[in-house]
């Protein structure tokens, strides 16, 4: 393998850094200690593409984000935690287009608008497959530009924001957007 294309393994340990656009941090911290088996909410792989989140979905997004956040800190098979969890991983009936990071970021309606043409190896695992080999090498762009929304303090969807992400964060975004689009790391692509 070309040494220049090797990339470090993406850790499945949650990061402790908390960024802007977070879910209700106090409520999330309180919920993290409850003796609830959040892993029971994980559904098997399915091919249902997530639908866009609308204003009418906000209350559901907030409640489900708390579940996803707690799953990020739950052991599942070989995984001690997750960097992020996408809504389709807990809902195969009406999956919504959002994901939550272990640092409590709530990312709504994300879309990759630009990516580098050259890909790199990314060694990843997935909570959807706790019984499969925990690490799989997939191709990812090292830099991407995304558009997304969050929830404003008034409880409404924000305007669309744009940002560039790279490195591990870009890999996480691509992995989670894959879930939103019903694409999985164990697919043959």
The CATH H-level superfamily of 3-180 is Peptide deformylase (3.90.45.10)
- Give the per-residue pLDDT at 9: 35
- Give the per-residue pLDDT at 56: 97
Q: What pTM was computed for the model?
A: 0.80
- pLDDT band per the 50, 70, 90 thresholds, residue 18: very low
- Edge-first strand order for the sheet with 143-149 is 84-86, 98-101, 106-115, 143-149, 161-166
Average pLDDT over residues 161-189: 93
Percent residues over pLDDT 90 in the chain = 63
Query: What contacts 13, CB < 8 A, 6 or more positions away?
Result: 80, 81
For the chain, the residue count is 189
- Arithmetic mean of pLDDT over the chain: 84
Chain-centroid distance, C-alpha 79: 15
Give the span between the Cα atoms of 171 and 124, in whole angstroms.
9
CA-based diameter of the chain, in Å? 51
Give the span between the Cα atoms of 24 and 46, in whole angstroms.
29
- Give the per-residue pLDDT at 35: 46
Tens digits of residue pLDDT in 111-168: 999 999 999 999 999 988 888 877 899 999 999 999 999 999 999 999 999 999 999 9
- pLDDT band per the 50, 70, 90 thresholds, residue 6: very low
| Domain residue ranges of the chain, discontinuous segments joined by + | 3-180
Q: How far apart are the first and last CA of the chain?
A: 19
- By the 8 A CB rule, do 113 and 60 touch? no
């Amino acid at each position: 393998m070309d040494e220049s294309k090797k990339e470090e393994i993406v850790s499945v340990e949650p990061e402790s850094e908390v960024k802007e656009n977070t879910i209700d941090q106090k409520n999330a911290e309180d919920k993290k200690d409850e003796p609830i088996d959040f892993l029971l909410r994980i559904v098997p792989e399915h091919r249902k593409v997530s639908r866009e989140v609308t204003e009418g979905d906000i209350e559901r997004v907030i409640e489900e984000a708390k579940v996803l956040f707690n799953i990020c800190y739950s052991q599942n098979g070989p995984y001690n935690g997750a960097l992020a969890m996408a809504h389709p991983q807990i809902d195969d009936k009406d999956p919504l287009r959002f994901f939550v990071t272990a640092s409590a970021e709530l990312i709504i309606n994300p879309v990759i608008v630009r990516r580098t043409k050259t890909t790199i190896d990314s060694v990843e695992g997935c909570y959807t497959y706790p019984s499969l080999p925990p690490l799989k090498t997939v191709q990812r762009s090292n830099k991407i530009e995304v558009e997304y929304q969050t929830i404003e303090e008034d409880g409404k969807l924000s305007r669309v924001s744009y940002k560039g992400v790279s490195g591990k964060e870009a890999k996480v975004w691509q992995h989670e957007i894959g879930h939103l689009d019903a694409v999985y790391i164990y697919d043959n692509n």
